[in-house]
Structure 1
Amino acid sequence: MNVHLPNAQWFKSSYSQAGGECVEVAFLDGGKVGVRDSKDADGPALVFTPGEWDVFTRCLGSGGFDCPRS
């Protein structure tokens, strides 16, 4: 599915390095979260539901994606 996000307010983490390879995040309506490549602002974005975002960030924080599904 192709989603158009013209009004999204994208931001980078404060941990991002200048000129580095970063992702940008936008908090969207309905609690959804968009993620895109900062080098390709017009390219595709992933959109997570609130539950998906929680699992994604929890797994990143635990060091990877060997996280069991809940």
Structure 2
Amino acid sequence: MELSEELATAAWRKATRSASNGGDCLEVAPLSGGRVGLRDTEAPEKAPFVVSASVWDAFIDGAKKGEFDF
């Protein structure tokens, strides 16, 4: 399956807490090979970012450790 087809049929989801922030959210979708797709909920027609499993894991680890807290 080509990446464009995989992205079109991906199971996109967003955080349950995102409803209270005015819709400024990202959606994520698991992809083949451990990759993860990321897209803007307000512009799903735009090309999403696709990151490797290691990049996604590093992001999640940093978020859990508070590296992105203001």
Q: Please report the TM-score for the alignment, with normalisation by the length of structure 1.
A: 0.76
Picking from 42, 45, 50, the partner of 1:47 is: 50
CA distance in 2, matches of 1:50, 1:34: 10
Cα RMSD for the two superposed structures: 1.6
Where do 5+ consecutive residues of structure 2 fail to align?
Answer: none
More helix by share: 2
Contact 2:23 2:42 in 1 (8 A): no
Q: CA deviation at 1:44?
A: 2.1
CA distance in 2, matches of 1:64, 1:38: 24
How far does residue 59 in structure 1 lie from its aligned partner after superposition? 1.1
CA deviations on 1:18-42 (whole Å, 9 max, x unpaired) are 5421100000111111110000001
Alignment: residue pair count:
63
Whether 1:20 aligns to 2:23 is yes
User: In percent, how many aligned pairs have the same letter?
Assistant: 38
Q: Secondary structure at the match of 2:8?
A: coil
Q: 4+ residue runs of structure 1 moved beyond 6 angstroms?
A: none
Question: Which is strand-richer, 1 or 2?
Answer: 1
TM-score, normalising length: structure 2: 0.76
